[in-house]
Amino acid sequence: MMRSSVFAPGRVELLGNHTDYNQGLVLAAAIDRGLRVSGARRDDRRIALCSNSAGEFEVDLDNLRPVAEPAWVNYPLGVVRELLGEGIKIGGFSARIEGDLPSGWGLSSSAALEVATACFLLRLFSAELPPLAIARLCQRAEHHFVGVHCGLLDQLTLIFGRAGHAIFFDARSDEVRPIPFPANLVLIVAGSGAKRELTNGFYNQRRLETRAAAEALGVNSLRDVLPNELAKSDLPPLLRRRAAHIVGENDRVRRALELLASGDGRGFGALLSESHESSRANFENSTPELDLLVEIARGLPGVHGARLTGGGFGGATVTLCESDAAAQAAEAIAQEYAQRSGLTTQVFICRPADGAH
């Protein structure tokens, strides 16, 4: 019986919040947590999916359509639909999904499921696609089957991730480049306890707002706007704030590349904190819980900066910390957050890791 097993990591977005669908610049990293999809071919035309945490689901391969419940199955089913659309012959299969990547945290658990499923099926049915084509196929699956008009950042990071490196992505040119990450620094991820749901419309609304800002400024995308140009514009206040976030994030990514090249972890961390303040004030995709986690982290020894990670509207924060101070900082974040918010959080330390394999 033909079998296959593929692991896809989660990712943390370091800088470049909501810039990917604005043809902008992003800095992210695959992390050493993720999801594994394992299974085998079947002799019939059935798809059987099993998740240790989310239950089981079966459907006929010839009757693929989005389902309301359980919503998680739309990610792998959307990938199947897109593979079939590419002319790749997919038969019936059984697959088990397991891993240690929390969902609803902004760590790309949905993209990890898409990428792991796509690579699993390509191996299982002896087919190949170039890495960039796999990323785009998974992005289309989320657009068409889930209804979230995501950018390409998550899928690309999960495929091109490299241990010890951040991943730079230019959403206009599709350039993907590994950037050495300081060996003495680690990332602390802290969940807010407030689940993040991008399908509730916030993400798509911000996409419409940034598109409207670009049109009002007479440019193809906000990538074409510099901070001094935005300052002289007469955009309405809401669109000005949305544009300020995107324009500022692109600038922060450019500065981060220079700081990382010179090994300036403290300067890089300051950009993370600056990014979070822009999310809070300009893009309004933070929450009181995320703000509290950032405030707590920034006051701890060895911490260089902190911000929300991913789309926001709940989820998690990422904190840049000296390796030798990370365990104590992670414990302090969890304890003080529980005391001040009344919420229980999960906190873990991670490092930049390899992509899907």
**DSSP letters for 57-68:** EEEEGGG----S
Per-residue pLDDT tens for 243-289?
A: 999 999 999 999 999 999 999 999 999 999 999 999 999 999 999 99
Bridge partners (DSSP) of residue 167 are 28, 178
pLDDT < 50 stretches in the chain: 199
Structural domains in the chain, sorted by start: 3-178 (3.30.230.10), 182-350 (3.30.70.890)
DSSP 116-175: HHHHHHHHHTT----HHHHHHHHHHHIIIII-----SHHHHHHHH--TTEEEEEETTTTE
Q: Which residues contact 327 (CB under 8 A, 6 or more apart)?
A: 349
Which residue among the candidates 20, 44, 60, 154 is catalytic per the annotation?
154
Cβ burial of 155 (10 Å; 0-12, 13-18, 19+) is: buried
pLDDT of residue 307: 98
Which residue bears the tokens 């071919």? 41
100 tagged catalytic: no
**Peptide bond between residue 227 and the one before it cis (omega within 30 degrees of 0):** no
Nearest to 71 by CA among 205, 208, 195: 195
Instruction: Give the per-residue pLDDT at 238.
Output: 97
Question: Is 29:157 a contact under the CB 8 Å cutoff?
Answer: yes
Query: How confident is the model over 88-109, as pLDDT tens digits?
Result: 999 999 999 999 998 888 899 9
